[in-house]
């Protein structure tokens, strides 16, 4: 169990037991991709897979970070907390820096990390680390920070310290989600709503297909999509693409590339709202249709899918899934398929066979079960 692994590694590092163990879950986005940094709507849920941080405060104002999985330890002093510093530890150090920049009194700490959130799979492994670290430091130093502000601080760590231009979706999901629910988040107003996601009651499952095609948010493609959206908003004279109310009129004013990007964002926002209605009505056929339409939009207009995720979606649909879509930033990662419970293994096997025939590596599949957000375990 990862909780015990974190405790054992901490004890081996420091000679004493940690003051506690905190967890930050990975997340799956049910629908609403790349809408977050356009002030739009998202509908994620937290996963059982999570980052675990065993931690204790230190009195010497230094930070020691250890990764169990990488078998690596990094120690920093205050002068070494520098934005843009490379390495796995920047996701933890960035949280310390973000808290300090916000005026919170945070002293030194030993923090030992282990995680079972797959890296680069679109499941927000980085946000899981940040939110677990933040939960640990808040408790260790007796800070009072409400959940939405915690998510904002974790995003500052990723944006300003690590250098990845992500929106708030990942950190909000890892912080705010509750078990058996999806989280509706209005990324402008920060209104949240817990939305029951009782697919098992309907005889369904959310099958997660990890294509094992890895991606990274710290690259030019993600930043290029965000820049295209900002350029389009400037041309249209709106604060963000969420404010586009007449899509056809907007498209007529834009160059071809920006028009495609805008069409995805505006229609994706509407699909999130429609998905809320579908869930309220227990209309899973409609939810599945919206998921599939979302994937087509990401493929054709936002151009962020690639061969393996397209194949996984097509194969799952061919095996009888009600809907399927890529989730995450794009260019690889995971696919969600809404399937009948008695078709889970057949669907997974169909995808494995399709990947083998295409000469792709074997995908990993598991069930996406909505779980609780960042919290203290021990």
Query: Both 181 and 295 in a single domain?
Result: no
Q: What confidence score (pLDDT) does residue 310 get?
A: 97
Which residues have C-beta within 8 Å of that of residue 71, sequence separation ≥ 6?
none
- The CATH number of whichever domain residue 228 belongs to comes to 3.30.70.890
Q: What confidence score (pLDDT) does residue 218 get?
A: 45
Query: Both 36 and 60 in a single domain?
Result: yes
* pLDDT level of residue 219 (50, 70, 90 thresholds): low
Q: What confidence score (pLDDT) does residue 352 get?
A: 98
Q: How many CB atoms within 10 Å of residue 212?
A: 18
Q: Give pLDDT tens digits for 258-315.
A: 999 999 999 999 999 999 999 999 999 999 999 999 999 999 999 999 999 999 999 9
Contact (Cβ atoms closer than 8 angstroms) between residue 372 and residue 182: no
When divided into structural domains, the chain yields a total of 2
Query: Both 113 and 217 in a single domain?
Result: no
Query: Both 120 and 262 in a single domain?
Result: no
Q: Which residue has the tokens 């520098």?
A: 82
Burial label, 191 (beta-carbon count in 10 A; 0-12, 13-18, 19+): exposed
* pLDDT level of residue 167 (50, 70, 90 thresholds): confident
Average pLDDT, the chain: 95
- The CATH number of whichever domain residue 14 belongs to comes to 3.30.230.10
Q: Give pLDDT tens digits for 76-92.
A: 999 999 999 999 999 99
Query: Both 134 and 30 in a single domain?
Result: yes
* pLDDT level of residue 56 (50, 70, 90 thresholds): very high
Query: Both 100 and 242 in a single domain?
Result: no
Query: Both 178 and 240 in a single domain?
Result: no
The rounded radius of gyration (Å) of the Cα atoms in the chain is 21
b vs e for 104-123, b when ≥16 Cβ sit within 10 Å of the residue's Cβ? bebebbbbbbbbbbbebbbb
Which residues is 204 bridged to in the sheet? 340
Query: Both 202 and 184 in a single domain?
Result: no
Q: Residue 38: which domain range?
A: 2-194+372-376
Q: Which comes out higher in pLDDT, residue 333 or 88? A: 88
Task: Quote the CA–CA distance of 312 and 132 in Å, as a whole number.
Answer: 31
Active site residues: 170
Among candidate residues 28, 125, 41, 42, the one with its CA nearest the CA of residue 337: 28
Burial label, 249 (beta-carbon count in 10 A; 0-12, 13-18, 19+): exposed
Burial label, 220 (beta-carbon count in 10 A; 0-12, 13-18, 19+): exposed
Q: Which residue has the tokens 């930033």?
A: 329
Query: Both 190 and 203 in a single domain?
Result: no
Q: Give pLDDT tens digits for 248-271.
A: 999 999 999 999 999 999 999 999
Query: Both 170 and 152 in a single domain?
Result: yes
Contact (Cβ atoms closer than 8 angstroms) between residue 150 and residue 138: yes
* pLDDT level of residue 215 (50, 70, 90 thresholds): low
- Which contacts of 343-350 are long-range, i.e. CB under 8 A and separated by 24 or more positions? 343/319, 344/205, 344/207, 346/319, 346/320, 347/207, 347/316, 347/319, 347/320, 347/321, 348/207, 348/209, 350/315, 350/316, 350/318, 350/319
Q: What confidence score (pLDDT) does residue 216 get?
A: 53
| DSSP state letter for 342 | G
Query: Both 255 and 189 in a single domain?
Result: no
In this model, does residue 123 exceed pLDDT 90?
no
Query: Both 230 and 161 in a single domain?
Result: no
Q: What confidence score (pLDDT) does residue 347 get?
A: 98
């Amino acid at each position: 169990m990862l909780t015990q692994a974190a405790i054992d590694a901490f004890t081996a590092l420091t000679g004493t037991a940690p003051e506690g163990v905190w967890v930050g879950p990975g997340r799956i986005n049910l629908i609403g991709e790349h809408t977050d940094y356009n002030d739009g709507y998202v509908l994620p849920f937290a996963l059982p897979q999570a980052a675990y941080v065993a931690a204790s405060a230190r009195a010497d104002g230094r930070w020691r970070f250890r990764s169990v999985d990488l078998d690596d330890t990094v120690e920093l002093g205050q002068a070494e907390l520098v934005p843009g510093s490379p390495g796995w530890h920047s996701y933890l150090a960035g949280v310390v820096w973000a808290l300090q920049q916000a005026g919170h009194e945070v002293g030194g700490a030993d923090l030992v990390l282990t995680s079972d959130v797959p890296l680069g799979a679109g499941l927000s492994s980085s946000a899981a680390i940040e939110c677990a670290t933040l939960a640990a430091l808040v408790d260790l130093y007796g800070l009072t920070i409400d959940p939405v502000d915690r998510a904002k601080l974790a995003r500052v760590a990723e944006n300003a310290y690590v250098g990845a231009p992500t929106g708030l979706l990942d950190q909000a999901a890892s912080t705010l989600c509750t078990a058996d629910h999806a989280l509706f988040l209005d990324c402008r107003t920060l209104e949240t709503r817990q939305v029951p996601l009782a697919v098992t009651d309907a005889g369904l499952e959310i099958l997660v297909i990890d294509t094992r095609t890895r991606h990274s948010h710290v690259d030019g493609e993600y930043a290029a999509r965000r820049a295209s959206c900002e350029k389009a908003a400037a041309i249209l004279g709106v604060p963000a693409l969420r404010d586009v109310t007449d899509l056809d009129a907007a498209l007529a004013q834009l160059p071809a590339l920006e028009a495609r990007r805008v069409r995805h964002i505006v229609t994706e926002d509407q699909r999130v709202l429609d998905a809320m209605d579908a869930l309220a009505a227990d209309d899973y056929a409609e939810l599945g249709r919206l998921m599939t339409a979302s994937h087509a939009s990401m493929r054709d207009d936002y151009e962020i899918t690639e061969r393996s995720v397209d194949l996984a979606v097509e194969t799952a649909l061919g095996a009888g899934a009600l809907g399927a879509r890529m989730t995450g930033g794009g260019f690889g990662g995971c696919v969600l398929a809404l399937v009948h419970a008695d078709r889970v293994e057949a669907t997974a096997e169909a995808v494995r066979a399709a990947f083998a025939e295409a000469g792709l590596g074997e995908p990993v599949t598991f069930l996406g079960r909505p779980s609780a957000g960042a919290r203290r375990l021990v």
